[in-house]
Structure 1
Amino acid sequence: MGEQGERPRNTDGQYADRIPPEAVLDVFDDREDMARPLTAGDVMDALDCSRRTAHNKLSTLVDRGTLETRKVGARSRVWWVPMPRGPESRTDERPLPVTNAIQDASLPGSGPTLEARREALSAAYDYLAANPEAKKADFLRDVYHDHPAGYESPEAWWNALHPALKDLPGVDPPAERGHLWHFLGGD
């Protein structure tokens, strides 16, 4: 074999990879501030490896889609773990306070039933946003049938949903029964 301390080689005579790319992920997991991006120097220091090795490992993880990177100067680059979008994240332009209010709305039920009722509330909100003046009958006609949320009658559906709907941002409920609901905006 070789001298003691020489890096091991594989069967092709190349240096065996003693630092797997997953070791770099441990460096990201060990950060105190999970939002802080890392530099190749941070990885070098943590893994006691060369700059080239750090760059190679980081590049491998970017190629796999595990990390993201961008240049931050003429010769500087940072890497970070991308944050996945949760199921409550929407691809439309609904403001986050509205999405959070729908998620936090007081609706009866739990599990899939509660989720169906949140979807019904969301559909009612979207309907009002698209139709800024609507009556109860409009919601029952245009929203209930596509989003019954486990309710057997439109009246039971409305009785459960309208208290939550009136608390959503930008919703102006009528002062009296039978009058128009108004949409003032989602912020």
Structure 2
Amino acid sequence: MRDGADRPRNDDGQYADRIPPEAALDVFDARDDVARPLTASDVMEALDCSRRTAHNKLSTLVDRGTLRTRKVGARSRVWWVPMERGPDSDDGRPLAVDNAIRDATLPGSGPTLDARREALSAAYDYLAEHPEAKKADFLRDVYHDNTAGYESAEAWWNAIQPALKQLPGVDPPAERGHLWHFLGGD
């Protein structure tokens, strides 16, 4: 952490190595789990700055509407990038989920890829409605109405489940686990 004593200053007396608020936003973009909120300590460590500087950058981003925050304890606070619901989305899902489905890596192109995105969307919606589900539940309740060109449920699952794991709010089973969990999409 910087103590400020050895930091260079410009001609106006301001620190020459000022950290823009967007640098704090970059910390959010670098997360593997885009749904995980961050603490000021997370930002402080990533930017190698003081806690006060991290709080100032985060507060600026909240004021701009780029981030949201809430207290989670007597002296603790978390920040996150809001996942707004799409204005023209009639499914009620956050726009980030719709974007993740659109950008998911699925085999095929054209109408085949569209059908596979619809199948992924159906699997996501199923998990949202049934926050604990097993593979067998997806195969029984989702596959038959959303085959996406697959002749077997197993082939369908082998294509859909890797993409489903990557969607916001989805908690896949631990290794050798069976239950998929839905943690929420907003």
User: TM-score interval w.r.t. the shorter chain?
Assistant: 0.5 to 0.7
Q: Cα deviation per residue 1:53-89 (whole Å; 9 max; x = unaligned)?
A: xxxxxxxxxxxxxxxxxxxxxxxxxxxxxxxxx9xx5
Q: Percent identity?
A: 83
- CA shift, 1:176, in A, is 2.4
RMSD: 1.4
**Separation in 2, partners of 1:177, 1:112:** 34
The one-letter amino acid paired with 2:111 is P
Relative to the length of structure 1, the TM-score reads: 0.52
Q: Which stretches in structure 2 are left out of the alignment for 5+ residues?
A: 1-85
**Separation in 2, partners of 1:154, 1:178:** 19
Does 1:92 find its partner at 2:91?
A: yes
Equivalent residue runs for 1:1-187 within 5 Å: 89-187=88-186
**Separation in 2, partners of 1:168, 1:149:** 19
Task: Provide runs of 4+ in structure 1 moved above 2 Å.
Answer: none
Q: Cα deviation per residue 1:18-38 (whole Å; 9 max; x = unaligned)?
A: xxxxxxxxxxxxxxxxxxxxx
Q: Which stretches in structure 1 are left out of the alignment for 5+ residues?
A: 1-85
- CA shift, 1:178, in A, is 4.8
SS across alignment from 2:181: strand
Bigger Rg over Cα: 1
**Separation in 1, partners of 2:175, 2:163:** 17
SS across alignment from 1:134: strand
**Separation in 2, partners of 1:119, 1:158:** 14
Relative to the length of structure 2, the TM-score reads: 0.52
